[in-house]
Amino acid sequence: MLKPLRLFTLAGCLGMFTIATAIPLRLAIALQQNPHPQAILMLSGDSSRAKFTREMAQEFPDLPIWVSVGDPEIRSILGGLDNQGLQGDDRIQYDNRATDTVTNFTTMVAPLQQNNIRHVYLVTSDYHMPRSQAIATIVFGSHGIAFTPVPVPSQSSRREARPRIARDIGRSVLWLVTGRTGASYNPRLQSARGNSRS
């Protein structure tokens, strides 16, 4: 008879193996069924991302644009695109629920699925792309949403630290298993909430 610790370890290994094999398979199926991106997804940050997305949107007038967290400056730069390209509903959809890079992806899964979007152009800064791709592989890949990375050139020489990427991979797996990202434990968010109450 297996002891509880061994059983827990075996279950964990089996779960990780399932995740590691299921995600690449779901991504491959999504890419085969939708070889061309069906939308542009921009992660907010500096204004260069919005300027780049604006140019890209003019190149692909039939693609809707999804923006994860659109502050007033971003909205100003992207203004006017609603009237270009797609007929009917607004071309740009803003989703302001995200509080960090992991939640940029976890909050977008449901809206993309509801709109039958299975492949997106992923637009973010070049230095931010490795972490974004790692998260997207787990979060989007587990839900059959493929992505084509489009890094925005930046003047920054900084690179994402490996521990930060590893942390967000762990948070993405946590979300996959529990539905929670751990974002509520972010000290910056805790202090912002405390300040808003006073």
Highest mean pLDDT among 60-69, 74-83, 182-191: 60-69
Q: State residue 24's pLDDT score.
A: 87
Q: State residue 198's pLDDT score.
A: 29
- Are 134 and 168 spatial neighbours (Cβ–Cβ below 8 Å)? yes
Of the candidates 139, 144, 143, the residue with the CA atom closest to the CA atom of residue 33 = 144
Q: Minimum mean pLDDT among 39-53, 122-136, 148-162, 174-188: which range?
A: 174-188
Q: State residue 151's pLDDT score.
A: 96
Q: What is the mean pLDDT of residues 180-191?
A: 66
Q: What is the mean pLDDT of residues 108-112?
A: 96
Of the candidates 93, 99, 95, 140, the residue with the CA atom closest to the CA atom of residue 120 = 140
> Mean pLDDT score of the chain, rounded to an integer?
84
Q: State residue 109's pLDDT score.
A: 96
Q: What is the mean pLDDT of residues 186-191?
A: 53
Q: State residue 190's pLDDT score.
A: 46
CA angle 12, 15, 18 (to 5 degrees): 150
The number of CA neighbours under 13 Å toward the Cβ of 39 is 21
Of the candidates 152, 53, 168, 47, the residue with the CA atom closest to the CA atom of residue 103 = 168
Q: Minimum mean pLDDT among 25-34, 113-122, 180-189: which range?
A: 180-189
Q: How confident is the model at residue 86 (pLDDT cuts 50, 70, 90)?
A: low
- Are 156 and 49 spatial neighbours (Cβ–Cβ below 8 Å)? no
Q: Minimum mean pLDDT among 33-37, 54-58, 67-71: which range?
A: 67-71
Q: Which residue has the higher pLDDT, 32 or 186?
A: 32
Highest mean pLDDT among 62-66, 77-81, 177-181: 62-66
Q: How confident is the model at residue 194 (pLDDT cuts 50, 70, 90)?
A: very low
pLDDT greater than 70 at residue 52:
yes
Q: How far apart are CA 16 and CA 39, in angstroms?
A: 30
Q: What is the mean pLDDT of residues 156-182?
A: 88
- Are 137 and 106 spatial neighbours (Cβ–Cβ below 8 Å)? no
